Amino acid sequence: MSVTMKLLLTIVQDADAAKLEQALRERSFQSTKMASTGGFLREGNTTLIIGVDDKDVALVQEIIHANCRERTKVVTAGSPLHAVEGAFASQPMEVPVGGAIVFVLNVEAFHRL
C-alpha cells in the first residue's frame, strides 16, 4: 500500500528544539526527538523526525522556519575543530548555524504494528 507521506528529517539547534516541539504538538503534528552531533562543530544538536501528510509539508516547514533562528558560533582556538583543521583554523572564526536543515524524504510505507 503506498502512502502520501513525507518524512522531514530536521536538524535544529538545541536552543530551538523545545519551542519547535511544542509548536508542532499544538498543531497536532507528531515528532520524535533524537540527540545528535554536528560533524563540523562537533557540538550537540537535535534531530527531529517528523512524519506528515504530503499536504502538510509546507505548513510544517513554515512552523520550523518560525521557531528556529540563525545564530553565529565563534569557533575559538583550542576547540576540537582546531585540532584537525590546522593552520586554516588557527584564528577564531565565525560560522552561521541554522535556522534548520530539513531533508524531505518520501515514505514508502507507514505501519503501526
Residue choice 10, 45, 46, 67 for contact with ligand 2BA (CB under 6 A) = 45
Residues 6 or more apart whose Cβ sits within 8 Å of residue 78: none
Contact 48, 22 (CB under 8 A): no
What is the number of other CB atoms lying within 10 angstroms of the CB of residue 63?
A: 18
CA separation for the pair 63, 8 (Å, rounded): 12
Q: Which stretch binds ligand 2BA (CB under 6 A): 18-26, 59-67, 91-99, 105-113?
A: 91-99
Does residue 95 bind ligand 2BA (CB under 6 A)? Answer: yes
Does residue 38 bind ligand 2BA (CB under 6 A)? Answer: yes
Residues that bind ligand 2BA (rule: CB under 6 A) add up to a total of: 11
In the complex with ligand 2BA, the residue whose CB is nearer, 86 or 96, is 96
Does residue 40 bind ligand 2BA (CB under 6 A)? Answer: yes
The Cα diameter of the chain in Å comes to 55
CA separation for the pair 14, 35 (Å, rounded): 9
Residues that bind ligand 2BA (CB under 6 A): 11, 38-41, 45, 95-98, 101
